[in-house]
Structure 1
Amino acid sequence: MNNWNQVLTQEQESLGATQLATGFVAAVTDQGLIAFTGEESASFLHSQLTNDVEHLGPGDVRLAGYCSPKGRLLASFLMWRTDESIFLQLPRAIQPAVQKRLQMFILRAKTKPADVSEQFVTLGIGGGDAEAMLQNWFDALPAKPFSKLDHPLGTLLRVADAFGAARYLWLTSPETASVAAPVLKERLAVGGNEGWRLSEIHAGIPQVGPGTQEQFVPQMVNFELLGGVNFKKGCYPGQEIVARSQYLGKLKRRTALASIADAAAAPGAEVFSPADPEQPCGMVVNTARNGTGGVDALVEMKLEALEAGDVRFGSASGPALQFKPLPYVLDKLDV
């Protein structure tokens, strides 16, 4: 019998919005996973991350950021817990350095981080057909975005909706994935990392990676709008700057969803406004091929450029960004 990898990675497609909205499955292989285990794991992470970890419940899934002392994001995580561990999912490309940095601050705290990326197969499933497909294995599904359930067949996380439909991450064993993969492939479009990233972009979920570390205060990438920042918790690195941006109304930048007719657009690339052609007005946060020869992207930029509606990729004479609606409202902070 073919294993899950052969079934779901040999025929990956460059999916478009229509396929994602209908139903898709993606082998998510570019994400790493850190497990913190020990009785003081929650209190340690609570002191390091932008979100509340001490009150993270067994059915909760949350976004969280890890900032430099200057309040700039070094990493962004999807976070959940079991009875034994707290898990942080982030790009594999930055996981070793981020894990090492966190470990430096553990000191005497009773917690130990471990790279558990290879212990699970991660399948991303979404679109209108997702729920019916998952009911082949699960009697019940997480009822709302950012919730989870644990099951003998693995952990099922419901993440942010996209295209008006639910999306799930199923962390399971290679054996279970090998049984499920042919069934999923028969009914759903197969997308891989690129398809999953495209669905994340249309859900408005930013992810900090190699090209964008230390570039953004959390609010610049809409992180607090997604529940990724808790302003009532105690201190963490950069907390004063993050709070000042929130309460003193100093933030003049936000992240928007747009299509760019240039397949070379990548995280960290700059965008420009013709009104001020000499200086970049923003930066690309995340991209994924959209099936039309270009990319869809989350792009951080000055609010005045976003409001003007004319933003170009690469230079003031580059291709114009075609803006699309986000699934949530941008609460502008330029007061």
Structure 2
Amino acid sequence: MATVPSVDALNSGVRLHHLAALDVKGPDAETFLQGQTSAQVSLADGRFAPLTCFCTPKGRMLANAQLMKVGAEHYRLLLSASLLELLTAHLKKFAAFYRAELVPLPALPLIGIGDNAQALADNLSLTLPGAPGTQAANPQASVLCYPGDTPRWLFCMEDDSDVSALDDEAGRAAWQLADIRSGLAWLTEAQQDHFLPQMLNWEALGGISFKKGCYTGQEVVARAHFRGQVKKRLVRAELPTTTPPGVGASILSDAGKAVGEVVHSAMTETGKVELLAVMNTKVIDEATPIHLEEVPLTLLELPYAIERLDPEQLAMGVVN
């Protein structure tokens, strides 16, 4: 049976094993990343940490991530642990032409924490950032503020000491449920090379810069935006069942036609399931009845508008 989330457990701090870090270091780290990622890399300045993604030449997402700057010539990508090796192998093909080193960190302690974050920040001599997408860093650790109705922060601990006791499934479930309620979907290996960034609402979250120069897949991503060619979108939904569906599970219309697929799901505190799914926009607009394994699915509101949000605008708003 799936784990019931516990905010109390999250408030105490929990290891986020489903996420991992990839460091990019060196004199050419910024230039190298600028040619590969949807973010305007210069926006990652140690205060603002933009969302970003990496695409194939056809514009399909290989991974999405959050980009932090944790030191001089030192960037860190936070992404699904299932994609760490795959993204590293992909980027190494291009990094060879730059003075840039890729350092995958599968064991780096990533700690999610709620109300007790200030005490941890004080112990680490860090200023706790107050707005989603903002960060702080020092040689001991870095911290990133995440979105959600419940305040929460992610700490990257450079030292693995005294964090082994934070392995709590209920707290981790609370973190993942908060991601779902924030409309924030992290791509995993199962759906790599499957979606355009806009299908995960990435431009509505400020994860695509349409003002930067070229990067791999940029032409396709820009064309889809400016020509309105995106026919699938990320939605949030509720399922009255106690068994979360698997990644890729089909969402069907009453006529039995596949109209969407599950990206991520988690149990709620009340014993139901909430999920994020990529669905046909026509079904969304027409409010067509849908179900998953014969159980009716109810669409819920997302906490943001489905419209372009430039990361340049977002960065100006959160750090000034």
Task: Tell me if TM exceeds 0.5.
Answer: yes
Matched residue, 1:48: 36
Does 1:287 pair with 2:265? yes
Does 1:235 pair with 2:243? no
Does 1:66 pair with 2:66? no
Equivalent position to 2:163, from 138, 159, 177? 177
Distance 1:94 1:140, change over 3 A: closer
In the aligned structure 1, how far is the partner of 2:117 from the partner of 2:83?
32
Matched residue, 1:3: none
Q: Please state whether the residue corresponding to 1:225 is helix, strand or coil.
A: coil
In the aligned structure 2, how far is the partner of 1:139 from the partner of 1:13?
32
144-153 or 38-47, which moves further after superposition?
144-153
Once the two structures are TM-superposed, the CA of residue 145 in structure 1 deviates from its matched residue by 1.1
Matched residue, 1:9: none
Distance 1:42 1:71, change over 3 A: same
Equivalent residue letter for 2:130: A
Equivalent residue letter for 1:168: W
Equivalent residue letter for 1:254: R
Equivalent position to 1:269, from 249, 254, 264? 249
Per-residue deviation, residues 114-163 of structure 1 (Å, max 9, x unmatched) = 11232x3211113xx3455546535731131101112465211112x212
Per-residue deviation, residues 57-111 of structure 1 (Å, max 9, x unmatched) = 1112121111111111111111101224111112222211211011012232110
Distance 1:114 1:132, change over 3 A: closer
Matched residue, 1:116: 105
Does 1:297 pair with 2:281? no
Equivalent residue letter for 1:71: G
Per-residue deviation, residues 150-204 of structure 1 (Å, max 9, x unmatched) = 2465211112x212x32200112222536xx68xx9xxx9734333211111111
Any gaps of 5 or more consecutive residues in structure 2?
Answer: 309-320
Once the two structures are TM-superposed, the CA of residue 300 in structure 1 deviates from its matched residue by 0.9
In the aligned structure 1, how far is the partner of 2:84 from the partner of 2:138?
27
Distance 1:94 1:321, change over 3 A: same
| 8 A contact 2:10–2:112 mirrored in 1 | no
Q: Please show how residues 12-91 of structure 1 align to structure 2 within 5 Å.
A: 14-15=4-5, 19=7, 23=11, 25-81=13-69, 82-91=71-80
In the aligned structure 2, how far is the partner of 1:96 from the partner of 1:219?
24
Q: Please show how residues 140-159 of structure 1 align to structure 2 within 5 Å.
A: 140-151=127-138, 153-159=140-146
Distance 1:270 1:20, change over 3 A: farther
In the aligned structure 1, how far is the partner of 2:94 from the partner of 2:138?
34
Does 1:167 pair with 2:157? no
RMSD across aligned positions (CA) = 2.6
Any gaps of 5 or more consecutive residues in structure 1?
Answer: 1-11
Equivalent residue letter for 1:248: R
Once the two structures are TM-superposed, the CA of residue 289 in structure 1 deviates from its matched residue by 2.5
| 8 A contact 1:24–1:190 mirrored in 2 | no
Distance 1:242 1:21, change over 3 A: farther
- TM-score w.r.t. length of structure 2: 0.85
Distance 1:117 1:246, change over 3 A: same
In the aligned structure 2, how far is the partner of 1:326 from the partner of 1:125?
23
Distance 1:222 1:20, change over 3 A: farther
Percent sequence identity over matched residues? 27
Equivalent residue letter for 1:207: W
Aligned length: 302
Once the two structures are TM-superposed, the CA of residue 322 in structure 1 deviates from its matched residue by 2.2
Q: Please state whether the residue corresponding to 2:33 is helix, strand or coil.
A: helix
- TM-score w.r.t. length of structure 1: 0.81
Distance 1:123 1:309, change over 3 A: farther
Once the two structures are TM-superposed, the CA of residue 239 in structure 1 deviates from its matched residue by 1.0
In the aligned structure 1, how far is the partner of 2:144 from the partner of 2:24?
18
Per-residue deviation, residues 227-267 of structure 1 (Å, max 9, x unmatched) = 11001111112111111111111222211111223525122
Does 1:215 pair with 2:223? no
Matched residue, 2:85: 96
Equivalent residue letter for 2:160: P
| 8 A contact 2:126–2:137 mirrored in 1 | no
Does 1:202 pair with 2:181? yes
Equivalent residue letter for 1:54: S
Distance 1:108 1:326, change over 3 A: same
